[in-house]
Amino acid sequence: MVSVLAIAHIILSVFLIVLVLIQDPKGGAAGGMFGGGGGSNSLFGATGAPSFLARLTRWVAVIFAASCIAMTIFIKPKSDSVLDSLPVTTQPKLEELDSDVAIPQETPAPESKQD
């Protein structure tokens, strides 16, 4: 399943690269969207709505993004965290401590004498 998805992903990436490279550059197309020009340099340009090639490029880009997400889901490792692979350590019990190890005890504060 993963190998089929990886092959489809590679084909989509090459197809997307070819689609982007064969499109006619409009030059300053983004400038028209932000008020950089008028008339033929407006939002859709002189030709109106996007061409078939531009719409095809958008759909291939959406399918490419979906294949990226699908590959991430299928290739995800089985563990949920990096810490799951670490060995589990436990705290030693009080009886297991050596007898010569001093355990700090709380000492009462000295009482101050008042005159």
Tens digit of pLDDT for each residue in 10-69?
A: 999 999 999 999 887 765 444 444 444 444 544 555 555 568 888 899 999 999 999 999
Decide: pTM greater than 0.85. Answer: no
Residue 4 in domain: yes
> Residue 25: what pLDDT?
73
Question: Average pLDDT for residues 68-85, to the nearest whole number?
Answer: 79
Residue 106 in domain: no
> Residue 115: what pLDDT?
54
First to last CA, the chain: 88
Residue that is written with structure tokens 């291939």 in the block: 60
Residue 4 has pLDDT above 60, yes or no: yes
Q: Tell me the per-residue pLDDT of 93-107, one tens digit each, with 9 for 90 and over.
A: 666 555 555 566 666
Domain count, the chain: 1
Residue 71 has pLDDT above 80, yes or no: yes
Contact 37, 110 (CB under 8 A): no
Residue that is written with structure tokens 């009482």 in the block: 111
Residue 100 in domain: no
> Residue 24: what pLDDT?
74
Domain range for 15 is 1-21+45-78
Q: Which of 100, 67, 79, 81 is nearest to 1 (CA)?
A: 67
Residue 98 in domain: no
Instruction: Compute the C-alpha angle 7/57/71, nearest 5°.
Output: 30
